[in-house]
A and B are shown apart, each in its own frame.
Chain A
């Protein structure tokens, strides 16, 4: 049972990633716009139950993607508007906002561990105004 759930998560998550990769490869669109499109698509598909089916089949294979973030935003906002329950929306919003300090911390740590990658660019940026 557990193995089956893991295989389903792998297949659903893999298929979602392959679908959006296919869009990027064929259209050559900016990946950032494709990711924005995936969040919006998740929000649009939520009322039709498509994301619910993907979550039921794939578990975290669908839940832990950008696409489901859109559906989670829409679903929790509906719960807020109709039932006055904003807690789920606040939790999801906090998870997204927390990515900022976490990502910056990871980036700063990367800069600390790979100073040679930053020194060259930093010197170039510093000397550029003087050359002008």
Chain B
């Protein structure tokens, strides 16, 4: 039961955040048309701007405390993660530069590793095709 509690919270938090993302995507699809290449990038950017808008109030931190991976796995979690890394480093060192560095390093670590794997997969797929 103790294992299922955080899993249920992650399901609820992640599900609700991604339901909001789907609502944004459907609105953009209606506005721009299904053929527009900007629907997905704009959906992702609006999710990130949503995180920017609510992180300063401390609400996103509360969601992360409650839903944990449920708040981190949606793309808005990356923006909130960078903001949290900035705040954490700034609190620890008192330096804005250290905060900026921590934010950059988080994105480099997370997307860099994914990009590396994606690059290898893409090379293999391209070679097979």
Q: What residues make up the interface of A, taking CB atoms closer than 8 Å to B?
A: 2, 5-6, 8-18, 20-22, 24-26, 31-32, 34-36, 38-40, 42-44, 46-47, 58-61, 63-67, 69-71, 73-75, 77-78, 80-82, 87-88, 91-92, 95-100, 102-114, 117-118, 121-123, 125-126
Q: Is the CB of A98 within 8 A of B125?
A: no
What is the bound-complex CA distance between A111 and B57, given in angstroms? 10
**Chain A: interface secondary structure?**
helix
Q: Is the CB of B83 within 8 A of A61?
A: no
**Chain B: interface secondary structure?**
helix
Q: Is the CB of B43 within 8 A of A43?
A: no
Q: Which residues of A contact B24 (CB under 8 A)?
A: 60
Q: Which residues of A contact B122 (CB under 8 A)?
A: 73-75, 77-78, 80-81
From B7, B51, B125, contact of A74 by CB (8 A) = B125
- Chain B 14-51 residues near chain A, CB threshold 8 A: 14-19, 21-26, 37, 40-41, 43-45, 47-49, 51
From B6, B19, B55, B129, contact of A61 by CB (8 A) = B19
Q: Mark B72-84, 1 if CB is under 8 A from A, else 0.
A: 1111111111111
What is the bound-complex CA distance between A74 and B34, given in angstroms? 22
- Nearest chain B CB to A21 CB, angstrom units: 3
From B22, B86, B111, contact of A103 by CB (8 A) = B86
Decide yes or no: A97 and B107 within 8 Å by CB, A65-B75, A77-B118, A91-B37 being known contacts: yes
Q: Is the CB of A73 within 8 A of B26?
A: no
Q: Is the CB of A25 within 8 A of B74?
A: no
Decide yes or no: A6 and B69 within 8 Å by CB, A13-B74, A70-B117, A107-B55 being known contacts: no
Top 7 closest pairs, chain A to chain B, by CB: A103-B82, A17-B14, A13-B18, A14-B15, A39-B114, A107-B86, A9-B22
Interface centre among A36, A58, A99, A113 (most CB of B within 10 A): A99
